[in-house]
């Protein structure tokens, strides 16, 4: 046992020592990586509308001679890069959808040190790294022992509710040694747990027989703002850490017409599932009470629900990831995930989410990734794959 530990430490030390030299060599694949990112980024891929982007992904898998490229029933694209031994499989995934609709101009602008365009950071550059991974490994002369299963998963964001990732992990027959979710931003991100979350949408409608002469009568905007105020009065505990984020309010269309309907989107997150359940119950009661009080129709819809899950901070996968980041002078920012990592962990596999580079204006149409830090981010990803491949991350 002790001898295995010493061997493991030696192997990790050797691997860490090689990382800085790899950053420069990875930049030899810069053009292919960035071209993939731009071509992917220019194909609109709103959640539930990722088909065209997925076709591009599957074509690339085929062009790269990967094994068993396939699109599953849910629309996910996957393919296998066989290892020299193939006893284990490592899952590397990136979500293919973004928050921009088909009408958004998806043209990317390529400068000498940055790329700007909607969804380039979240997640065209992340997805591009998956497509380019075989070339990146080749550039370093690396051949892993484990198989790599590359996955572009769909229906991840918003109402997608991780459907693609859940579907893939539920239907695939392979056990995974570990899973890595790749996000374009932000370098240093280290997620190893999924945060309990509840995404809610409240729709408010003023009925046709609404009594406009009653006390407090008003349009949908005023009602919704009162409702927001009431939700904010619900006590939110500091421990376990809990937050309520209001992410969207849609109501009204002009200056002088009282709107009759509107909707409110918000997310409750907590480190304790019981707190999420309790807050959900309070919001539900409050919605019903508000509906009766105000004479409006208020409907609460639960769009997404995720339980708390994760691996420990002391898990070898997390410890090794931190060591790799340290060797690259990347400061880890530990942040529980509400994304695809939840699906990996819920399926019983250890996993982490990594960010590749620095980004600006996230989720705006002028979203930007900086190119200089990108290769350090990729070196981090490849080092972690090697560590998993060497058995350094097994619990």
Partner 1 sequence: MTNDINSWLEQNTFHHSDFWDLRKLVEEKERKGLTISLCIPTLNEEKTIGKEVLILRSELMERYGLVDEFAVIDSGSDDRTREVASAYGADVYLASDILPEMGNKRGKGENLWKAIYQLKGDVICYVDADISNIHPRFVYGLVAPLIQCDEIKYAKAFYDRPLNYSSGLRPSGGGRVTEILIRPLFSLFYPELTNVIQPLSGEYAARREVLERIPFPIGYGVETAHLLDLYQEYGIEAFAQTDLDRRVHRNQTTNALGKMSFGILQTFLNRLRSHGRIDQLPDMETIYRQFEVEEGHYRQLTHKVVEEERPPMIEIEAYLARRKLSKQP
Q: Which of 15, 38, 185, 275 binds partner 1 (CB under 8 A)?
A: 38
Q: Which of 110, 221, 222, 228 binds partner 1 (CB under 8 A)?
A: 110
Q: Helix, strand or coil for residue 77?
A: strand
Determine if 138 is a binding residue for partner 1 (CB under 8 A).
no
Determine if 234 is a binding residue for partner 1 (CB under 8 A).
no
Residue 92: C-alpha distances to residues 44, 162, 165 (Å): 22, 16, 12
As beta bridge partners, residue 265 has 201, 248
Determine if 251 is a binding residue for partner 1 (CB under 8 A).
no
Candidate segments 102-110, 213-221, 274-282, 300-308, binder of partner 1 by CB under 8 A: 102-110
Residues touching partner 1, count (CB under 8 A): 14
Tokens 């997805």 locate to: 127
Determine if 312 is a binding residue for partner 1 (CB under 8 A).
no
Backbone region of residue 318 per phi and psi (left: phi > 0; alpha: psi in -120 to 50; beta: other values) = alpha
Query: What does the block give as tokens for 190?
Result: 């280290």
Compare residues 127 and 275 and give the one whose CB is closer to partner 1. 127
Task: Give the C-alpha separation, 276 to 370, whole Å.
Answer: 37
Q: Restricting to residues 180-199, which ones interact with partner 1 according to CB under 8 A?
A: none
Determine if 42 is a binding residue for partner 1 (CB under 8 A).
yes
Tokens 């060497």 locate to: 390
Per DSSP bridges, beta strands 89-95 and 147-153 are parallel
Q: Which of 9, 10, 24, 31 binds partner 1 (CB under 8 A)?
A: 31
CB of 289 to partner 1, least distance (A): 51
Compare residues 23 and 39 and give the one whose CB is closer to partner 1. 39
Compare residues 27 and 282 and give the one whose CB is closer to partner 1. 27
CB of 374 to partner 1, least distance (A): 14
Determine if 52 is a binding residue for partner 1 (CB under 8 A).
no
Residue 51: C-alpha distances to residues 124, 126, 329 (Å): 15, 18, 38
Residue 370's closest CA among 125, 55, 130, 31? 125
Determine if 253 is a binding residue for partner 1 (CB under 8 A).
no
* DSSP strands (E only) in 46-103: 67-71, 77-81, 89-95
CB of 360 to partner 1, least distance (A): 17
Determine if 32 is a binding residue for partner 1 (CB under 8 A).
yes
Task: Give the C-alpha separation, 354 to 347, whole Å.
Answer: 19
Determine if 39 is a binding residue for partner 1 (CB under 8 A).
yes
Compare residues 109 and 334 and give the one whose CB is closer to partner 1. 109
CB of 172 to partner 1, least distance (A): 29
Q: Which of 12, 15, 26, 34 binds partner 1 (CB under 8 A)?
A: 34
Determine if 370 is a binding residue for partner 1 (CB under 8 A).
no
Task: Give the C-alpha separation, 60 to 194, whole Å.
Answer: 31
Query: What does the block give as tokens for 183?
Result: 């996000």
Determine if 101 is a binding residue for partner 1 (CB under 8 A).
no
Helix H or strand E segment including 20: helix 2-26
Task: Give the C-alpha separation, 295 to 217, whole Å.
Answer: 9
Determine if 108 is a binding residue for partner 1 (CB under 8 A).
yes
Termini Cα distance of the chain: 13
CB of 109 to partner 1, least distance (A): 6
Candidate segments 32-40, 92-100, 256-264, 317-325, binder of partner 1 by CB under 8 A: 32-40
CA atoms in the 13 A half-sphere facing the CB of 185: 17
The residue ranges that bind partner 1 (CB under 8 A) are: 31-32, 34-35, 38-39, 42, 63, 107-112
């Amino acid at each position: 046992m002790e001898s295995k530990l010493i061997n493991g430490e030696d192997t990790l030390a050797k691997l860490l020592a090689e990382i800085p030299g790899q950053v420069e060599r990875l930049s030899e694949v810069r053009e292919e990586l960035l071209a993939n990112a731009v071509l992917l980024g220019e194909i609109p891929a709103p959640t539930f509308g990722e088909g065209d982007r997925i076709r591009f992904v599957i074509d690339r898998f085929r062009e790269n001679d990967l094994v068993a490229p396939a699109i599953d029933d849910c629309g996910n694209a996957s393919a296998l890069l066989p290892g020299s031994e193939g006893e284990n499989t490592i899952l590397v995934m990136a979500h293919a959808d973004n928050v921009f609709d088909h009408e958004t101009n998806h043209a990317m602008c390529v400068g000498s040190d940055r790329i700007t365009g909607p969804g380039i950071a979240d997640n065209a550059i992340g997805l591009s790294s998956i497509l380019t991974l075989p070339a990146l490994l080749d550039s370093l002369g690396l051949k892993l022992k484990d198989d790599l299963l590359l996955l572009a998963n769909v229906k991840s964001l918003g109402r997608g509710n991780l459907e693609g990732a859940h579907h893939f992990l539920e239907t695939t027959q392979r056990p995974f040694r570990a899973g890595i979710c790749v996000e374009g931003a932000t370098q240093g991100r280290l997620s190893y747990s999924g945060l309990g979350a509840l995404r809610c949408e409240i729709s408010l409608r003023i009925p046709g027989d609404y009594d406009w002469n009653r006390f407090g009568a008003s349009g949908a905007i005023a009602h919704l703002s009162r409702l927001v105020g009431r939700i904010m009065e619900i006590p939110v505990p500091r421990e376990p850490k809990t937050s309520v984020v209001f992410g969207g309010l849609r109501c009204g269309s002009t200056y002088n017409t009282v709107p009759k309907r509107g909707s409110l989107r918000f997310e409750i997150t907590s480190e304790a599932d019981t707190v999420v359940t309790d807050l959900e119950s309070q919001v539900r009661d409050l919605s019903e009470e508000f509906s009766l009080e105000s004479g409006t129709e208020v409907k609460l819809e639960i769009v997404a629900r995720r339980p708390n899950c994760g691996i420990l901070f002391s898990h070898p996968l997390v410890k090794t990831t931190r060591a790799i980041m340290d060797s690259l002078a990347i400061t880890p920012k530990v942040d529980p995930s509400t994304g695809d990592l939840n699906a990996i962990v819920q399926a019983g596999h250890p996993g982490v989410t990594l960010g590749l580079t620095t980004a600006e204006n996230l989720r705006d149409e002028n979203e930007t990734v900086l190119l200089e830090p990108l290769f350090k981010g990729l070196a981090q990803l490849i080092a972690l794959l090697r560590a998993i491949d060497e058995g350094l991350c097994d619990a």
